[in-house]
């Protein structure tokens, strides 16, 4: 045994293992190659966003005469000021702030709404016994198989009948029911030991007390992870806002952008389109990057 270990150690030394935790069999040269490949990979992955940023700092004339310079231009303040505060960057008479506000309301509404109703229904299904419990569980579960795309027209008709076109309710509520969040919370609740519930009950805590003082604090990490995923989900919605908004002042920024470029002609203010594009990209990217730890954990663990 000791001999075998000695041999392995010898082999490791022979293969160039170092004391810094590097793996056996990966020579320093191939680590350098890996770094080079990764830097190239990042250049490709990040380039479209960088390109848009560069374009947003140039004048309209520069953009229309390709190739675009690789470095940001001098129009950064002019363009961003004009898009944010000038009258020219308006899309169908709506300023960028309204669009950003709409997107924020929709993304937050979907994220928070989904978390609340999923917490409640998962709580009921795990911590209570009542007739039809499993029927309800399956009713929720099957919605996994009914994305908006397969029921576009009839859902639109429901929205018209309920007068929900061009309302925040219409943009948010139909998207907050989904099985994934409920399933995630159910899975997590099932790992909570029954002794904890028993102890709470012996101490005289009712269901509300248990939920508020024990379950919620325990679910903090899961809620944070889910919040990031759902915020991105809400911010990047496309088909749904396209269907349920007609008025320009109810558009999300993604839909408004698409309208800006679809009327593309000689008069399109491309430099302002690029600024708007950056404004639509930056908030969700910030959320993902700043909350990276929870986001990655939530994504990989829930396999959403």
Partner 1 sequence: MSPRVTFPHKVLPYLLVAPQLAITGVFFYWPASQAIYQSTLREDPFGLNSAFVGLDNFRRVLSDPNYVNSIQVTAIFTVATALLAMAVALFLAVMVDKVIRGRDFYRTLMIWPYAVAPAIAGMLWLFMFNPSMGTFAYMLRSAGVYWDPLLNGNQAMLLVIVAAAWKQISYNFLFFVAGLQAIPKTLVEAAAIDGAGETKRFWTIIFPLLAPTTFFLLVINTTYAFFDTFGIIHAVTGGGPGKSTETLVYKVYNDGFVNLILGDSAAQSVILMVIVIALTAIQFRYVEKKVHYG
What residues between 214 and 243 interact with partner 1 by CB under 8 A? 232, 235-239, 242-243
Candidate residues 149, 191, 203, 217; the one interacting with partner 1 per rule CB under 8 A? 149
Binding part of the chain for partner 1, among 77-85, 88-96, 213-221, 272-280 by CB under 8 A, reads 272-280
224/293 Cα distance (integer angstroms): 10
As a whole number of Å, the end-to-end CA separation of the chain is 45
CB of 223 to partner 1, least distance (A): 17
Candidate residues 97, 218, 258, 263; the one interacting with partner 1 per rule CB under 8 A? 258
Q: What is the 3-state secondary structure (H, E, C) of 32-80?
A: HHHHHHHHHHHHHHHHHHHHHHHHCCCCHHHHHCCCCCCCCCCCHHHHH
Candidate residues 2, 87, 128, 138; the one interacting with partner 1 per rule CB under 8 A? 128
Residues 280 and 101: beta-carbon distance below 8 Å: no
Binding part of the chain for partner 1, among 46-54, 77-85, 93-101, 214-222 by CB under 8 A, reads 46-54
Question: Which distant-in-sequence residues (6+ apart) come within 8 Å of 196 by Cβ?
Answer: 214
Candidate residues 2, 45, 71, 88; the one interacting with partner 1 per rule CB under 8 A? 45
Using CB under 8 A, which residues numbered 153 to 172 contact partner 1? 153-158, 162
CB of 219 to partner 1, least distance (A): 15
Nearest 5°: the CA angle 34, 39, 45 is 120
245/165 Cα distance (integer angstroms): 6
Candidate residues 6, 13, 51, 216; the one interacting with partner 1 per rule CB under 8 A? 51
Using CB under 8 A, which residues numbered 75 to 94 contact partner 1? none
Question: Which distant-in-sequence residues (6+ apart) come within 8 Å of 283 by Cβ?
Answer: 100, 103, 104, 235
Asked if 284 touches partner 1 (CB under 8 A), the answer is yes
Q: Which is nearer to partner 1, 114 or 250 (CB)?
A: 114
**CA 137: distance to chain centroid?**
26
9/3 Cα distance (integer angstroms): 10
- Dig out the tokens for 26 from the structure: 């990966």
Candidate residues 12, 94, 214, 224; the one interacting with partner 1 per rule CB under 8 A? 12
Asked if 8 touches partner 1 (CB under 8 A), the answer is yes
89/83 Cα distance (integer angstroms): 5
Site string for partner 1, 171-210 (x = CB under 8 A): --xx-xx----x-----------xx-xx--x----xx--x
Q: Which is nearer to partner 1, 100 or 126 (CB)?
A: 126
CB of 93 to partner 1, least distance (A): 22
């Amino acid at each position: 045994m000791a001999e075998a270990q000695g041999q392995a150690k010898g082999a490791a030394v022979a293969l160039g293992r170092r004391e810094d935790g590097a793996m056996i069999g990966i020579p320093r040269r191939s680590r350098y190659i890996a770094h080079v490949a990764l830097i190239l990979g990042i250049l490709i992955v990040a380039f479209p966003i960088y390109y848009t940023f560069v374009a947003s700092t140039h004048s309209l004339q520069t953009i229309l005469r390709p190739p675009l310079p690789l470095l940001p231009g001098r129009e950064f303040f002019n363009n961003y000021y004009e898009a944010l505060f000038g009258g020219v960057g308006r899309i169908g008479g709506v300023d960028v702030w309204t669009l950003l506000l709409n997107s924020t309301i929709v993304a937050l509404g979907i994220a928070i709404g989904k978390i609340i109703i999923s917490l409640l229904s998962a709580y009921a299904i795990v911590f209570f016994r009542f007739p039809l419990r499993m029927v309800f569980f399956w009713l929720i579960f099957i919605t996994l198989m009914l994305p908006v795309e397969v029921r576009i027209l009839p859902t639109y008709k429901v929205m018209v009948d309920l007068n929900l076109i061009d309302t925040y309710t219409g943009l948010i509520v139909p998207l907050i029911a989904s099985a994934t969040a409920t399933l995630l919370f159910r899975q997590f609740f099932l790992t909570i030991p029954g002794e904890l519930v028993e102890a709470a009950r012996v101490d005289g805590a009712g269901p509300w007390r248990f939920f508020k003082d024990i379950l919620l604090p325990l679910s903090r990490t899961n809620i944070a992870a889910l919040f990031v995923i759902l915020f991105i989900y809400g911010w990047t919605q496309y088909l749904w806002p396209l269907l349920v908004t007609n008025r320009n002042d109810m558009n999300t920024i993604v839909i408004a952008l698409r309208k800006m470029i679809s009327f593309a002609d000689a008069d399109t203010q491309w430099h302002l389109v690029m600024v708007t594009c950056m404004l639509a990209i930056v908030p969700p990217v910030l959320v993902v990057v700043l909350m990276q730890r929870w986001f990655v954990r939530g994504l990989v663990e829930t396999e959403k």
